[in-house]
Amino acid sequence: MTTAPPTRRYDYETDGSQIYVDSFATIRAESDLSRVPADAEKVAVRMIHACGQTDLTRDLVIHPGLVSAARTALEAGAPILTDANMVASGVTRARLPRENDVMCLLRDPRVPDLARAWSTTRSAAAVSLWADRMEGAVVAFGNAPTALFHLLEMLRDGAPRPAAIIGTPVGFIGAAESKQALIDLAADEPGLDVPYLVVTGRRGGSAMAASALNALAQERE
């Protein structure tokens, strides 16, 4: 085991706290945060921090009631339901206000049979298993457009309504369309105005979804 650091050959910041402070200062200097609701500014900053893309606010669409709805739900002990284990793994448990459950059911043994029977993806089939926990939950999609589409179809069929939906599935097939369908849900189905956060277009991913959840779980940056 080595007991000494390597020879210092590069000029770089090594103070973790200073890196953190400087990173968020850079984000605020380079991003147009006027595009997001005032109470969602820290959510946007944390998402930019996760992806390194200061132009992310150009594609962020945040419902005006998203932050208050999600925080109220989490403070009441609501679970977080996700489409991907990477999203669940990215949630910082210490930030959760009530030791909230964070669940991804992709590995549930019922999922493969459901996916085959319904001719859909396992990610979509897993969402059906959320039904008994979905009322008032905070749900997040960081990977699978089919899972987000499936949730919207469940809601249209009268499934329990979550408190908030984070929609950041990534990809080239169905990602942009699924997120637009979430934005359009209230207009298409009066009475289904569920607060949401969406990264429009093709970009997204588990890191973005997890960073949004972490910011919503606790206002501290």
Active site residues: 49
Residues in the chain: 221
Return the half-sphere exposure (C-beta side, CA atoms, 13 A cut-off) of residue 119: 0
Distance of alpha carbon 215 from alpha carbon 198, whole angstroms? 15
Tokens at residue 137, please?
């939950």
Beta bridge partners of 8: none
Tokens at residue 217, please?
């779980």
Question: Quick check: 176 and 201 in contact, CB under 8 A?
Answer: yes
Question: The sheet that has 60-62: what strands, in order across it?
Answer: 60-62, 196-199, 164-167, 138-141, 80-82, 102-103
Which of 139, 137, 147 lies closest to 174, judged by CA? 147
Question: Quick check: 118 and 151 in contact, CB under 8 A?
Answer: no
